[in-house]
Amino acid sequence: MRIARRLVIAGLTGIVIAVALVSIFIAEGCVRGWARRQPDPTDADRVARAASATWQSARVTAADGAPLSAWLFTPRQPNGSAVILLHGVADTRRGVLFHAQYLLQAGFTVLAPDSRGHGASGGDLLTYGIREAADIHAWADELFRTRPIQRLYGLGESMGAAVLIESLPREPRFRAVVAECPFSTLQDEAYDRIERISGLGRWASWPLVRSGFLYVRLRYGVDLKQASPAAAIRATEVPVLLIHGTRDVNIPPSHSQTLHALNPQATTLWLVPGAAHVSAISACPEEYERRVVGWFRSHP
């Protein structure tokens, strides 16, 4: 009997240790810097030439001292408006430059930053909007300080979409934003991701997510449960166009549906049939550009 009890205890202890080690591994992968590819100026040259625009490097210092880098594009005929473009996890400013071209052709000044922990920007810790929201405020200050703009807009993809929504309480100068494939809360997205990878239900992902979040809070002093576009969108009056592909398996469209349900007065939801993660523009490029540009112009 004692031997059986010891075996049970040893087995449970092993499971607890295994869960703790796996959750730490996953948590470190989530919050440490992902993409450190340095930006190639030829990419900026290519976009500027295609849109008959000019560009220059831009830089600000975040509230915590992290240096942040971006490309700032100026259209040939500025319309007095600027758009901040935000990329997703493991990407850089290069990944959203295809948006810059049609926005520049429509007269918008475009700022494309590397998110903290990505590209040429500093800050090794990714917080999925907790610190990044303040970074957006710093970039907005820089735009209004250095450019003759009257209207500010934002367009974000995936994590960038979530960060953009989370920045709304801190940056009231946004006239309207477009968020493609955002998560509703980082915690719910973590549950969804682990369930999909493991093939098991919420009961299996719960200990990994909870222990991983606890580890990050104890190790880095960051409560990832605060990474919540849902909390930000409830109270915002800024118009938000939510775009989500119906075949998105990275962040299911239910996340955008949840955000829309939380504030249907301020949000509009466009579900794109057959589109995968941040691929709506590939599924219907002309309609995508028309909707985005029209969304900004309809909120002067």
pLDDT (0 to 100) of residue 207: 84
Contacts for 101 with CB less than 8 Å, ≥ 6 apart: 47, 50, 51
pLDDT (0 to 100) of residue 196: 85
pLDDT (0 to 100) of residue 16: 39
Contacts for 15 with CB less than 8 Å, ≥ 6 apart: none
Distance CA 108, CA 102 (A): 9
pLDDT (0 to 100) of residue 222: 95
pTM of the model: 0.92
pLDDT (0 to 100) of residue 85: 98
Q: Which residues of 246-270 are buried (b: 16+ CB within 10 A; e: fewer)?
A: eebebbbbebbebbbebbeebbebb
Q: What is the pLDDT of residues 17-28, one digit of tens each?
A: 444 445 565 668
pLDDT (0 to 100) of residue 18: 41
Q: What beta strand segments (E) does 138-249 contain? A: 151-157, 174-180, 240-245
| Residues of the chain with confidence (pLDDT) below 50 | 4-21
Q: How many helices (H) and strands (E) does the chain have?
A: 11, 8
Query: What does the domain layout of the chain look like in residue ranges?
Result: 1-31+186-224, 35-184+227-297
| Two structure tokens written together for 234 | 């409830």
Pick 35-184+227-297's CATH classification: 3.40.950.10, 3.40.50.720, 3.30.420.480, 3.40.50.1820.
3.40.50.1820
Contacts for 102 with CB less than 8 Å, ≥ 6 apart: 289, 292, 293
**Selection from 49, 68, 46 nearest residue 57 by Cα:** 68
CB 126, CB 30: distance < 8 Å:
yes
**Residue 239 three-state SS:** coil
For 106: left if phi > 0, alpha if psi spans -120 to 50, otherwise beta; the answer is alpha
**Selection from 234, 244, 228 nearest residue 276 by Cα:** 244
**Residue 254 three-state SS:** helix
